């Protein structure tokens, strides 16, 4: 019954979405007429009910997984009654159909959120926004119903399920996809706002102020999702890397880059009424990147840990939706952009100028990642097989990224509208001095490697520059969003410092050793004390007992494992990681050679944790900024009332 109820909820939600589009059309047309407020109130309620229905369908699917209902095909294929509860729940979205249902649920809930909370936007624009949001939802409901129905039954039901890919059986997985989806699909709101504002010829500061909290919120979730995903790949895959430029990782990076640009340009539009057309364009691009990411991951065109299924009809369906929505939005942009009036102007040397530079550099990085991710697919279609990996992205994106870091340091020190070069140089004196000293120190002590020295120098400079806007201010009266900016920019400095330190100074050792022997890696001596079997709820393992000793501190034990899962039959490597203040010791056990020796792979990764600490700071900065903005909007609204 539950499966049927879920499907019914999905169809009902589709029906409500259709009604929502029609009501929105009516409300937008007759926004100023007598019945306008009533139609508007009805529209809001329909949007909220649509969101609740989608949520109900999703919760019903989770219930099926929790109950291990083996009469449902999706449960059979992706779950097993012996799985721990948390992975039964996570299994609901650890597969194609379930994750698409989560996707569309977030889309509908975001629309409901707009209907609930958006009070200040002109009625017509809000109606058009809700209509656009429902129009997107309809396409993806149709995709679920016709190409990816999660509620299909099997008859007769098998005795038990096939289990979940063991790589995905990790606490990180429970939260990674939902977080990422909140960000991905949260950007749909920005897209719908842009479409709504274009339709109603209402592109201006009010529209930007309405859009900003949504962009911020989506961006915070994307940041958390990417940071958590990177850490998950780092400890779960056992390869010691934290970013693989895997197409699926890029699929999450591209919306983040576009959202970061949008976040900055929307501020220019909200506070200075500049960059109108550009901001609308970015809002369209950001969600387009989310949809392209969905297409890449869900069409089966890529085969990786993330891609669950290969089914050409699904790819075609998503591609058609993609063409419809992106093409439609771009056509609307082309048709209406002439009606968007020129906003306020500014001098080249100004905060706005710096933000334009930020946007351009982010766009270049986005372009590079986009080309690197899609080129192999295009080449494959042309009959050439090639792959594009880290060397490409590092060569093409790192120089632009470094320029962006420098711009990030300088931008917040500039005044709005116009500033002087001399004033900027004066303010940059201290950060540049710090950067120079850091560069010289790292260059001298770190074996004369200029790139890591440059990155660490820039990081030090940015760290200083990012707190400068707070200096000589009354800290209690400083608006929260300024703290947010400082924390986020400091987070970038922290994160790239971790990347550079790990990239340049990590030490890797690989050796086959017998019990009683040791390898040294970085400041540690790692001794193999024994190898023994271990068991978990649904796996058995070979576990190495390692003792790590470092001069001047107490030795500690590490237990890396090679796990064997029975359902489905798979091996995984569980790295054992020890976190110290100055880095991490990362150990993995490989194969035995049958003569008493075991492959032990160990890394010393200095300051690697800064990468994710920085990511968390960036997200925290976003959160502070969001709280500050929402509070101020509320206060302004009260004052206006």
The residues of the shown chain that bind other proteins, judged by CB under 8 A, are 165-166, 275, 278, 302-305, 308, 342, 345-347, 356, 360-361, 363-368, 371-372, 375-376, 384-389, 391-393, 395-396, 399-400, 510-513, 562, 568-573, 588, 590-591, 593, 597, 599, 601
For other proteins, the closer of residues 593 and 636 by Cβ is 593
Please, are residues 404 and 361 in contact by the beta-carbon 8 Å criterion? yes
For other proteins, the closer of residues 15 and 315 by Cβ is 315
DSSP 15-40: HHHHHHHHHHHHHHHTTTSTTHHHHH
Token output for 171: 């606490």
- Least separation, in Å, of the C-beta of 334 and other proteins? 14
From residue 349, alpha-carbon distances to 176, 263, 275, 420 in Å are: 41, 20, 16, 7
CA dist., res. 221 & res. 219, Å (int): 5
For other proteins, the closer of residues 157 and 590 by Cβ is 590
Please, are residues 78 and 91 in contact by the beta-carbon 8 Å criterion? yes
CA dist., res. 567 & res. 543, Å (int): 20
Task: Write phi, then psi, for 4 (nearest 5 degrees).
Answer: -65, -40
Helix or strand holding residue 572 (H, E): strand 570-574
- Least separation, in Å, of the C-beta of 205 and other proteins? 17
- Torsion sign, CA atoms 423, 425, 426, 432: positive
CA dist., res. 514 & res. 517, Å (int): 6
For other proteins, the closer of residues 380 and 553 by Cβ is 380
- Least separation, in Å, of the C-beta of 363 and other proteins? 5
- Least separation, in Å, of the C-beta of 182 and other proteins? 26
Q: Strand 553-558 relative to strand 539-550: parallel, antiparallel, unpaired?
A: antiparallel
CA dist., res. 95 & res. 170, Å (int): 15
- Least separation, in Å, of the C-beta of 369 and other proteins? 9
- Least separation, in Å, of the C-beta of 452 and other proteins? 20
- Least separation, in Å, of the C-beta of 100 and other proteins? 17
Number of CB atoms found within 10 A of residue 263's CB: 24
Please, are residues 336 and 276 in contact by the beta-carbon 8 Å criterion? no
For other proteins, the closer of residues 60 and 397 by Cβ is 397
Token output for 369: 């990642």
Angle at 14 between CA 10 and CA 18, to 5 degrees: 170
- Least separation, in Å, of the C-beta of 318 and other proteins? 18
For other proteins, the closer of residues 108 and 340 by Cβ is 340
- Least separation, in Å, of the C-beta of 224 and other proteins? 26
CA dist., res. 356 & res. 359, Å (int): 5
Number of CB atoms found within 10 A of residue 550's CB: 16
Helix, strand, or coil here: 204?
Answer: coil
- Least separation, in Å, of the C-beta of 592 and other proteins? 9
For other proteins, the closer of residues 328 and 592 by Cβ is 592
For other proteins, the closer of residues 64 and 511 by Cβ is 511
For other proteins, the closer of residues 6 and 401 by Cβ is 401
For other proteins, the closer of residues 360 and 616 by Cβ is 360
- Least separation, in Å, of the C-beta of 246 and other proteins? 11
Please, are residues 297 and 307 in contact by the beta-carbon 8 Å criterion? yes
For other proteins, the closer of residues 59 and 305 by Cβ is 305
Angle at 210 between CA 204 and CA 215, to 5 degrees: 110
CA dist., res. 96 & res. 319, Å (int): 16
For other proteins, the closer of residues 113 and 300 by Cβ is 300
- b/e for 147-172, b at 16 or more Cβ within 10 A? bbbbbeeeeeeeeebebbbbbbbbeb
For other proteins, the closer of residues 345 and 420 by Cβ is 345
DSSP 290-306: HHHHHHHHHSSSS-STT
CA dist., res. 610 & res. 616, Å (int): 10
Direct distance between the N- and C-terminal alpha carbons of the chain, in angstroms, rounded to an integer: 50
Phi-psi region of 383 (alpha: psi -120 to 50; beta: other; left: phi over 0): left
Helix, strand, or coil here: 580?
Answer: strand
Helix, strand, or coil here: 588?
Answer: strand
CA dist., res. 419 & res. 399, Å (int): 27
For other proteins, the closer of residues 12 and 307 by Cβ is 307
- Least separation, in Å, of the C-beta of 215 and other proteins? 20
- Least separation, in Å, of the C-beta of 301 and other proteins? 9
- Least separation, in Å, of the C-beta of 356 and other proteins? 7
């Amino acid at each position: 019954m539950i499966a049927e109820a879920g499907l019914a909820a999905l169809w009902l939600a589709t029906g409500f979405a259709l009604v929502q589009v029609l009501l929105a059309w009516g409300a937008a047309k007759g926004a100023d007429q007598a019945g306008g407020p009533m139609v508007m109130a009805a529209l809001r309620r329909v949007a909220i009910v649509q969101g609740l229905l989608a949520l109900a369908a999703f919760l019903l699917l989770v219930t099926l997984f929790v109950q291990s209902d083996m009469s449902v095909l999706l449960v059979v294929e992706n779950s097993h009654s012996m799985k721990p509860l948390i992975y039964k729940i996570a299994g609901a979205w650890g597969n194609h159909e379930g994750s698409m249902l989560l996707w569309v649920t977030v889309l509908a809930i975001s629309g409901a959120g707009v209907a609930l909370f958006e009070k200040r936007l002109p009625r017509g624009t809000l109606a058009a926004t809700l209509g656009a949001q429902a129009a997107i939802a309809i396409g993806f409901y149709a995709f679920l119903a016709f190409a990816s129905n999660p509620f299909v039954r099997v008859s007769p039901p098998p005795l038990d399920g096939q289990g979940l890919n063991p790589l995905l059986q990790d606490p990180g997985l429970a939260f990674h996809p939902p977080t990422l989806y909140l960000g991905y699909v949260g950007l749909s709101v920005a897209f719908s706002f842009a479409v709504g504002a274009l339709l109603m010829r209402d592109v201006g500061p009010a529209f930007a102020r309405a859009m900003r909290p949504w962009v911020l919120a989506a961006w915070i979730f994307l940041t958390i999702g990417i940071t958590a995903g990177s850490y998950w790949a780092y400890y779960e895959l056992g390869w010691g890397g934290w970013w693989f430029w895997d197409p699926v990782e890029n699929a999450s990076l591209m919306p983040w880059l576009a959202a970061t640009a949008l976040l900055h340009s929307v501020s220019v539009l909200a506070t200075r009424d500049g960059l109108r057309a550009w901001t609308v364009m970015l809002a369209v691009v950001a969600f387009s990147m989310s949809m392209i990411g969905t297409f890449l991951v869900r069409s089966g065109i890529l085969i990786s840990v993330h891609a669950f299924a290969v089914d050409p009809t699904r790819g075609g369906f998503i591609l058609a939706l993609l063409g419809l929505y992106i093409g439609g939005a771009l056509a609307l942009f082309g048709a209406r952009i002439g009606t968007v009036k020129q906003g306020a102007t500014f001098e080249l040397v100004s905060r706005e100028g710096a933000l334009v530079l930020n946007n351009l550099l982010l766009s270049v990085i986005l372009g590079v990642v986009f080309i690197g991710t899609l080129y192999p697919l295009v080449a494959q279609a042309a009959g050439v097989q090639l792959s594009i990996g880290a060397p490409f992205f590092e060569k093409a994106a790192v120089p632009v990224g470094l320029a962006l870091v420098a711009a990030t340091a300088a931008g917040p020190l500039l005044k709005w509208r116009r500033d002087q070069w001399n004033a900027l140089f004066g303010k940059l004196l201290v950060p540049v001095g710090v950067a120079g000293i850091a560069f010289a120190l790292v260059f001298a002590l770190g074996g004369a490697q200029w790139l890591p020295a440059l990155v660490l120098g820039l990081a030090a400079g940015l760290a200083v520059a990012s707190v400068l806007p707070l200096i000589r201010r009354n800290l209690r009266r400083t608006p929260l969003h300024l703290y947010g900016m400082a924390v986020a920019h400091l987070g970038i400095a922290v994160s790239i410092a971790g990347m550079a330190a790990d990239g340049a100074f990590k030490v890797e050792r690989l050796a086959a050793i017998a019990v009683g022997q040791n390898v040294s890696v970085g400041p540690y001596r790692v001794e193999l004390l024994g190898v023994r079997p271990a068991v978990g709820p649904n796996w058995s393992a070979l576990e190495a007992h390692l003792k790590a000793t470092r001069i001047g501190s107490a030795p500690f034990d590490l237990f890396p494992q090679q796990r064997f899962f029975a359902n489905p039959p798979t091996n995984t490597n569980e790295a054992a990681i020890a976190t110290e203040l100055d880095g991490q010791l990362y150990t993995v056990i490989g194969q035995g050679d049958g003569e008493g020796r075991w492959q032990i792979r160990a890394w010393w990764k200095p300051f690697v944790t800064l990468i994710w600490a920085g990511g968390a700071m960036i997200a925290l900065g976003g959160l502070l900024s969001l709280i500050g903005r929402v509070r101020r909007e509320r206060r302004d609204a009260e004052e206006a009332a």
